[in-house]
A and B are shown apart, each in its own frame.
Chain A
Amino acid sequence: MGIGERRDLPVVGGEKDGSPGFLTTKLDFVVNWARRNSLWPMPFGTACCAIEMMASYASRYDVARFGMERMSFSPRQADLLICAGRVTYKMAPVLRRVWDQMPQPKWSISMGACASTGGVFDVYSMVQGIDTIIPVDVYVPGCPPRPEGLIYGILMLQEKVKGESIQADVHKALRHEDPERTGRPNLPPEVIEQIAGPFGNSTNQNRASGLVSTRALARPRDRRP
């Protein structure tokens, strides 16, 4: 890192072009530091993935090391929804309501094949991926994923939080609160049809997460720009 030419950053914000200024970027850093290191998860465990999730919280893996000091069994005090396990259509309104009850800012992890794509349960009663119901930030593959997998997903999410900005549109797009949309699917019908086809969702997982390719991720720190 050499000594570059000093640039005159605007203190608060760009003049009129919306570019971030010194205070905004530093504030972003502090806010994101606080947010990503104190993610309180709301566990939405419905199947065997929940067992691995419990193992992640227990002493051997201990996600409290990453700032998830406790599981928040009330959505009102949660920042992160971990949907672990298969979700039936009968459970879908419950998941949606839990998500709607969480205060902003909020993130969600879809843990395991069934939550992400419906998995092997391509049947009449199963939701084919919870991204038809709620926006998802990180998909953790596996059946079920090992605790390391979940922790890796959490680290990815922390990286994502780190890159967010208060000014950015990501909050508006992903975390837009619209009470009138309660009870409506998260995606338009034709997209639901597309991802609910055989092997549909497994090839479309990058859509909501904003990641171009999961292969490019070796370790979370490699993803920094």
Chain B
Amino acid sequence: MTDKLEKGLEGLESGPERTAGIEPTRGAPAAESHPSVTALLEKFGDAVLHHELQAGDEHVAFIEPGRNVELLRWLKEDGQQRYNLLIDLTAVDYGGGRPLQVVYQLWSIPNKRALRVKAELPLDSLRIDTVVPIWSTANWLEREVYDLFGIEFSGHPDLRRIMMPDNYAEGHPLRKDFPLRGRFSRAEQTRRALSFDLSDYYTQAELAVIGEWEASQAQEHAPGSVEFPEDVKQSRDPRDAGSSAEEPE
């Protein structure tokens, strides 16, 4: 192993390095108000940590990560809010040991109103509750965030990698501490990619399902296993019925 590789593998264990004097990820509080953020503040109070404007007119509400399901469910189901479309669920890593942000980009179709909700996760506990029960589109989006950032979504029905292969051992590529060319050498990466195995791409549960399906197919198409109705039986050539049994020598 080269020194570079060892250093990279070390990074896999220790995580990103913290640097001093970094800028905070939050900006100044918003001057304007947003009806949904006002309602959130009234209803949940201290669960809404911060409200700011980004890129001019994008309202961002920072919430407490532990109460994300409660707040987001209310945002979807409350009669005044009705954020029924989860446009995007992603994460941001600003690097330098700053917390990772999980971003929920919401859109209310009835109210024609957008809201961005962020939850900041400290690097030592990258875990947040899933929102799949609220918006089922979050299923693959959360898998993507888990794959590329390593954030775990508790309660997710099927949390596994979606882009990188299941046996990918180099970490989570979109994290700032991830080296651009990956942690393994090119030769090792090529070797791993080419040693194609179904179990790298499917879970054991899926492979079991495939096995069951194949077994059922084999049984279904076995000679003599198909029971035809009477009229079909009569119209069929008698030589076809049980042909394997009556095969002339």
Name the contact of A122 in the complex, choosing from B180, B187, B194 (C-beta under 8 A).
B180
Cβ distance A79 to chain B, nearest Cβ, rounded Å? 23
Question: B187: which of A93, A124, A125, A189 is its contact (CB, 8 Å)?
Answer: A189
Contacts A93-B196, A192-B186 given: A122-B181 contact, CB under 8 Å? Answer: yes
The CA-CA distance from A183 to B190 in the complex, in Å, is: 10
Whether the pair A93, B194 counts as a contact (CB closer than 8 A) is yes
In the complex, how many residues of chain A place their beta carbon closer than 8 angstroms to a beta carbon of chain B?
22
> Any chain A CB within 8 A of the CB of B18?
no
Contact A183 B189 (CB under 8 A): no
User: CA–CA, A58 to B173, complex, Å?
Assistant: 39
* B: contact size bracket: 20 to 34
> Shortest CB–CB separation between residue A149 and chain B, in angstroms?
27
| Minimum Cβ distance to chain B for residue A97 (Å) | 8
C-alpha spacing A30/B181, complex, angstroms: 48
Give chain A residues whose Cβ lies under 8 Å from the Cβ of B188: 189
Residues of A within 8 A of B192 (CB): 89
Per-residue 0/1 for A80-98: is the Cβ within 8 Å of any B Cβ (1 yes, 0 no)? 0000000001101100110
Docked complex Cα distance between A132 and B189 (Å): 11
From residue A161, how far is it (CB to closest CB) to chain B in Å? 28
Contact A127 B190 (CB under 8 A): yes
Q: Which residue of B lies closest to A132 (CB)?
A: B190
Nearest-neighbor residue (CB-CB) of B183 within chain A: A124
The reply to whether A123 and B190 contact each other, CB–CB distance below 8 Å, is: no
In the bound assembly, the distance between CA atoms of A92 and B191 in angstroms comes to 10
Q: Is B111 an interface residue (CB 8 A)?
A: no
B194 touches A192 (CB 8 A): no
Contact, CB under 8 Å: A193 / B186? yes
B74 interfacial contact with A, CB 8 Å: no
Query: What's the nearest-Cβ distance from chain B to residue A202, in Å?
Result: 15
B contact residues around A132 at 8 Å (CB): 186, 190
Q: Are B173 and A127 in contact (CB under 8 A)?
A: no
- Measured in the bound complex, the distance between the Cα atoms of B244 and A165 in whole Å is 50
The answer to whether the Cβ of B195 comes within 8 Å of any Cβ in the partner chain is yes
Encode contact with B along A182-193: 1 for CB under 8 Å, 0 otherwise: 011100011011
B187 partner residues in chain A, CB cutoff 8 A: 185, 189-190, 192-193, 196
User: Chain A residues with Cβ under 8 A from B182's Cβ?
Assistant: 123-125
- Would you call B170 an interface residue if the criterion is a C-beta within 8 Å of the partner chain's C-beta atoms? yes
**Does A90 contact B181, Cβ atoms closer than 8 Å?**
no
CB contact list, A103-144 vs B, under 8 A: 122-125, 127-128, 132-133
Is B193's CB within 8 Å of the partner chain A? yes
Minimum distance in angstroms from A117 CB to a CB of chain B = 12
- Kindly provide the distance from the CB of A204 to the nearest chain B CB, expressed in whole angstroms: 14
Given contacts A90-B164, A192-B187, contact A183 B194 (CB under 8 A): yes
Q: Does B155 contact A (CB under 8 A)?
A: no
Distance in angstroms from A91 CB to nearest chain B CB is 9
State whether B191 touches A90 (Cβ < 8 A): no
- Whole-angstrom distance between the alpha carbons of A184 and B196 in the complex? 9
B185 in the interface, Cβ–Cβ < 8 Å?
yes
B181 adjacent to A124 (CB under 8 Å) = yes
Whether B181 and A184, one on each chain, are in contact in the complex, defined by CB atoms closer than 8 angstroms, is no
Chain A minimum-CB-distance residue to B201: A90
CA A10 to CA B182, docked complex, whole Å: 59
State the Cβ distance, B73 to closest chain A Cβ, in Å. Answer: 35
Q: What residues make up the interface of B, taking CB atoms closer than 8 Å to A?
A: 163-165, 170, 173, 178-182, 185-196
A-side residues, CB < 8 A to B, are: 89-90, 92-93, 96-97, 122-125, 127-128, 132-133, 183-185, 189-190, 192-193, 196
Show 21 A/B contacts (Cβ-Cβ < 8 Å), sorted by A. A89-B165, A89-B189, A89-B190, A89-B193, A90-B163, A92-B194, A97-B196, A123-B180, A123-B182, A124-B179, A124-B180, A124-B181, A125-B164, A183-B194, A183-B195, A184-B195, A185-B191, A189-B188, A189-B191, A193-B186, A196-B187
